Every structure is written in structure tokens, then in C-alpha cells.
Amino acid sequence: MKITVMLNGKKIEEEISPDMLLIDFVRGHGCFSVKRGCETSNCGLCTVFMDDMPVLSCSVLAARASGRRVETLEGLQEEAEEFGSFIADQGAEQCGFCNPGMIMNAIALFRENPDPSDEEIKEYLAGNLCRCSGYEGQLRGIREFLEYRRSKRTGGAI
């Protein structure tokens, strides 16, 4: 079957098998930030945005993305870079394996809720498996990033 997908701003038309997963499609186009982790839709490592909504690409058929916009971390570098440094400053990227999915979900959080509570932050982190850090570093990094953004908006110092 032939699909047309706007992947990270680039239109791709391709013949695929009907059972191809979206994770395989995006990785086949060089988007290696999208990773296989659990194969059960529980770890968040395969998170992509489809029409601005986070989805687990390991549980979505590529055919479902036809006619839609798909973004991976490769397509969100500018938005991700600023936030990623706050995660790194907290030592929350020990092995780095979970970072792409974690950053994708944090970006979704920031877009949906620019001033989340700790509980709302934890809800967004809940779908991401991190075996190294116990999530406290990510939580601190998100809090510091949000404070940084608030101070930028108000013109104050951190």
C-alpha cells in the first residue's frame, strides 16, 4: 500500500506493507531517536508526535499516519535542545536511553500546560521508563526549565 507522510517537515511517499509499524517507518528514514524498548507500549521510548499529539509509534501502523504530520526528536531539535540541557544539568541522562522519549513527552507537556504542577509533571513522566535515575533528576530539570521560562517571560533573573 502507498502512504504519504509529512515526516519532520519532509513529504515522503512510499510503498509499505500493510503491517508495518510507524516505528519501523520513521527509523527507516533515519529517525534513530525513536527506539524500541519494551515492545508492549509501556516504556515511552518510541514516542513521536502525530499531528502534534504524542503517540507510541510501536503500537501504531504506519498506514494510520498516511496524510498526517509526524515529528520525531530529529525534527524538534531547537525546541528540544534548550530543555535537554536542564535534564543534563541534573544528571538525569545517565545512560541516555530514555532521553528522547522523555524529552518528547516533556515537550508535549510544555505545549499543553505551560505551568504544570508537580503531579501533572509526574503524570507525563509516568509513561516513560527510566532504569537509571529514578525520575527525580528529570523532575528537577523540568522544574528548573519551567522557572527559567517564567523568568524569561517576566524579564527577571533565575
Q: How far apart are CA 151 and CA 14, in angstroms?
A: 45
* Residues in CB range of 112: below 8 A, 6 or more apart: none
- What's the CATH code of the domain at 103? 1.10.150.120
Q: Are 129 and 98 in contact (CB under 8 A)?
A: yes
Q: What is the CATH number of the domain that holds 33?
A: 3.10.20.30
Q: Are residues 65 and 80 in the same domain?
A: no
pLDDT higher than 70, residue 157: no
58-95 pLDDT, tens digit per residue, is: 999 999 999 999 999 999 998 888 888 888 888 766 67
Write down the pTM of the prediction.
0.87
pLDDT digits (tens, 9 = 90+) for 108-153: 999 999 899 989 998 888 878 777 766 788 888 899 999 998 888 7
| Same domain as 97, residue 45 | no
**What's the pLDDT band for 158 if we cut at 50, 70, 90?**
low
Task: Give residue 119's domain range.
Answer: 76-153
Measured between alpha carbons, how far apart are the two ends of the chain, in Å?
A: 53
pLDDT of residue 3: 98
- For the chain, the domain total comes to 2
In terms of C-beta density within 10 A (0-12 exposed, 13-18 middle, 19 or more buried), how is residue 17 classed? Answer: exposed
Is residue 131 within 8 Å of residue 108, measured between CB atoms? no
End residue of a domain, out of 74, 89, 115: 74
State which of 50, 74, 98 marks the end of a domain. 74
The Cα 1–Cα 17 span in angstroms is 6
